[in-house]
Chain A
Amino acid sequence: MEWLKRLDSIDPRWVYVIMALSLVFPVLKPIGLAISINKETTIPVYNWIESLQPGDIVVGDVSFSGGSEGELGPQLQAWFRHCMQRGVKVIMVAQWNTGERLGYTLLEETAEQLQEEGIPCEYGVDWVYAGYKPGGTTLWRQMQLDFWEACAETDMLGNSFSDLPLMQRFKKWDKATASDLIIFSAGDPGVGTYTTYFPDYNIYVGNVAVQVPGAMNTLRAGQIKGLLAGLPGAAEYELLLDKAGKAVKLMDAQSMGHAWIMLLVILGNIGFYLGAKERD
């Protein structure tokens, strides 16, 4: 039983090697573990887009950078796909300059796939990427008064708003033009901008997993209406769309990683308990 006592001092490199293996194999050969859909968090986001009429405008915010792409990228793409499938128009802004280009690349990739499938997804008509605008969170207040002026009348690509048909319907950002919005946020500035300046709007959120416990307060208080939680949130959304994508493919590996960590916690505690008895 000596080896059991050594369980609380396993060489971390073994932990990493086994973790890597337990993540790589399910990615290469998926197991097909079940994914349950959260009724409190994911379903409201899906139902929101389902409840909109073709032609309605929603605003999305890319407030993340490369470090969060793994979780928020699939969420953004699944949500965008849903909007285009329903004929809902999308205008994207970005509070983080570091994720501005990344968000556009992800949407462009999805737009190409949608067009190959015959789903209308024309830039300027079905969606516009206004992108990052300098000025901090107070600029978002200015967007409510005059969206065009606040954005210097240009999108991220340098196109004039006057050349983009969708923008003719979106001179200012108020409840009459777009009362619903979603923010894909990995930190600050993020959701606080909207709960502060847009408290009467229907706010939906896509968060990285580490933010989810903190975001539950705002969900319960009704400040936000729905929440996509990390990679599982993206996978659930993909399943709701009946279009399994990257998130669904990676969920087996995610579950295996969690299983390995749970096993380590149990083994570490056994080792610690037996070692503590001897030390006493």
Chain B
Amino acid sequence: MTTDPQILVQAICTLACYSYLIKENFAYRIAEYTLVALYTSYQITRLFHSFIKPYWQNYAIGEKQYYFILMGALGLLLYTRYAPPQYRWLARYPIALSVGWGLGGAIARSPRPVFTQLMDVMRPLNTANNVLFFVFFMAVMSYFFFTTGKESKFIQGSGRLGRYIMMIGFGTAFGNTVQGRISLFLNRLSFLLTDWLGISI
């Protein structure tokens, strides 16, 4: 067993996290709060050194792009959420600007990857796979057909098939999620066995 304090802390925190499986307990909460506090402080420090400081030094001051100061002041308005109630509405302006900016950017850039997949839907019906894909695709789409024809037996049957197809898809995703969680545990297990206990695997 190693005496390296860094590995020891990691091992104790790992065991504390998995102790939640028995029941919520003090050790788990200590590990949880420590992680949240460390992560938050790390991100705040990183954001300051990676974004705020260089932008201030290089652009606002260095290149005299004073509108960065305006943007900084606008950003500070976010914290009016913690001010007395009569000033809290000010926080909506930076949110509105960033959401609008983000949406505009996303709408401008998103179509290409999506349309590539939409084009891939148009496949020649020359193989059993492609025929099945076409049938299943139409069935799933008909499940989300909420306007006219909903009373039609054909649309209802097709929608039911679409629901089963989606359930298979969700089942696949769930199976993969389980696989991912086991992999995560195996990584921690190999750490505990090799790095902490010194057992070679």
Q: A199-B116, A213-B172 are in contact. Are A67 and B201 (CB under 8 A)?
A: no
Check if B21 sits within 8 Å of A209, measured CB to CB: no
For A218, the closest partner residue in chain B by CB is B117
Say yes or no for A145: interface residue by CB 8 A criterion: no
Residues of B contacting A3 in the complex (Cβ-Cβ under 8 angstroms) = none
Enumerate chain B residues within 8 angstroms of A211, measured Cβ to Cβ: 176
Given A23-B189, A71-B183, is A230 in contact with B176 using a C-beta cutoff of 8 Å?
Answer: yes
Asked if B185 is at the interface (CB within 8 A of a chain A CB), the reply is yes
- Across-interface contacts of A222 in B (CB, < 8 A): 116, 120
Q: Check if B186 sits within 8 Å of A230, measured CB to CB.
A: no
A196, B179: Cβ atoms closer than 8 Å:
no
Q: With A97-B46, A195-B113, A196-B112 known to touch, is A213 a contact of B176 (CB < 8 Å)?
A: yes
Residues of B within 8 A of A195 (CB): 112-113, 116
Q: Is the CB of B183 within 8 A of A231?
A: yes
B186-A27 in contact (CB<8A): yes
Q: Kindly state whether residue A128 has any CB partner on chain B within 8 Å.
A: no
Contact B110 A196 (CB under 8 A): yes
Interface of B, helix, strand, loop or mixed by DSSP: helix
- C-alpha gap A232/B178 in the complex (Å): 13
How many A-B Cβ pairs are below 8 Å? 105
Q: How far is the CA of A218 from the CA of B115 in the complex (A)?
A: 11
How many whole Å from B128's CB to the nearest CB in chain A? 15
B50, A134: Cβ atoms closer than 8 Å = yes
Neighbouring B residues of A230 by C-beta, 8 Å: 176, 179-180, 183
- On chain B, the residues within 8 Å of A71 by CB distance are 180, 183-184, 187
Most buried by A among B22, B184, B186, B187: B186
Q: Which of A181-220 contact B (CB under 8 A)?
A: 192, 195-196, 199, 208-214, 217-218, 220
Contacts of A59 in B (CB 8 A): none
Q: Tell me if A220 and B193 are in contact (CB < 8 A).
A: no
Docked Cα-Cα span, A94 to B184, in Å, equals 21
- The stretch that binds B, out of A42-50, A162-170, A247-255, is A247-255
Cβ–Cβ contact A27 & B113, under 8 A:
no
Task: Report which residue of B179, B185, B199, B201 has the largest number of chain A beta carbons within 10 angstroms of its beta carbon.
Answer: B179
A103 contacts B by Cβ under 8 Å: no
Give the distance to chain B from A58, nearest Cβ to Cβ, in Å: 22
Produce 1/0 per residue, B118-160, CB < 8 A to A.
0110000000000000000000000000000000000000000
Q: Does B117 lie within 8 Å of A212, measured CB to CB? A: no
A–B complex contacts, Cβ < 8 Å, 19 sampled = A13-B21, A27-B193, A73-B187, A134-B54, A196-B110, A199-B116, A209-B180, A210-B179, A211-B176, A213-B176, A217-B120, A218-B113, A222-B116, A231-B186, A250-B183, A254-B183, A254-B186, A258-B178, A261-B178
